[in-house]
Amino acid sequence: MYYSKEEDCESRKREKMIKAVFIDFYGTLVFEDGENVAKISDRIYQSGNAQSASQVGSYWWERFKTLFENSYGENFRTQRNLETQSLVDTINHFGSSEDGIKLSNEMFEYWVKPPIFEESKQFLDSCPVPVYVVSNIDRADVLQAIDYHGLKPAGVFTSEDAKSYKPRKELFEFALKSTGLSADEVVHIGDSLSSDVAGASAIGIRAIWVNRSNREVPAGVTAVGNLLEVFDTEYFK
């Protein structure tokens, strides 16, 4: 069968069209807790035997990362559980007099009332296809944060639902199954090259990296400086 150039162009355009957006939450729609982490790290440094607050932060992150990477399936643990254990372990490691449970609760208070990026509501309101939050967080916390800002995503899928964290495939697969969509009908948006871009791409979902800090963009990665720039990418033309 012969196709004209116009018909071929339209066919390719349809192939690129998406039916829904998956989007990360913390670091993408709302601010990450980096500033809070820095403050807590400094308090542990001031009350313990660490050489610097950055040493505390590095140890805390490595401890959390180890627990995080082993948390899936039958061994799945919630973000609150991982955060509390990694923080308590860090406090004990540096001989700090801080209370791990109290500091953890301060982290949790941030999670449910995080500041929002100024364009997030406009993005959600103007997106021409349904937007689903896909987040490495406990369900109750992200739902409370969404309600706090009055956001109206089409749905919410969390690591707690899938018993797995991004970049593992299970959370993405859970979101696809729940929406009845295939990987080539979705684009995933997130601020993490590893969890969001690499994780989504690994199962055939096209990805957009939200690069707010203007870092170098790896070859082959679609990047934007803010969420409204997403509408200028090939997936929305």
Q: Which domains does the chain have, with CATH numbers?
A: 5-31+114-236 (3.40.50.1000), 34-112 (1.10.150)
Model pLDDT for residues 118-142, shown as the tens digit of each residue: 999 999 999 999 999 999 999 999 9
Model pLDDT for residues 157-199, shown as the tens digit of each residue: 999 999 999 999 999 999 999 999 999 999 999 999 999 999 9
Number of H-type helices and E-type strands within the chain: 10, 6
Q: Which helix (H) or strand (E) holds 163?
A: none
Q: Please name which of 40, 26, 39, 36 lies closest in space to residue 145, comparing C-alpha atoms.
A: 26
Could you give the dihedral angle defined by the CA atoms of residues 175, 129, 142 and 160, in that order, rounded to the nearest 10 degrees?
0
The rounded percent of the chain whose pLDDT value lies above 90 is 92
Judged against a pLDDT cut of 70, whether residue 11 lies above it is answered with no
Q: Is 227 helix (H, G, I), strand (E, B) or coil?
A: helix
Query: What is the pLDDT of the chain when averaged over all its residues?
Result: 93
Residues 20, 178: Cα–Cα separation, whole Å: 12
As a whole number of Å, the end-to-end CA separation of the chain is 27
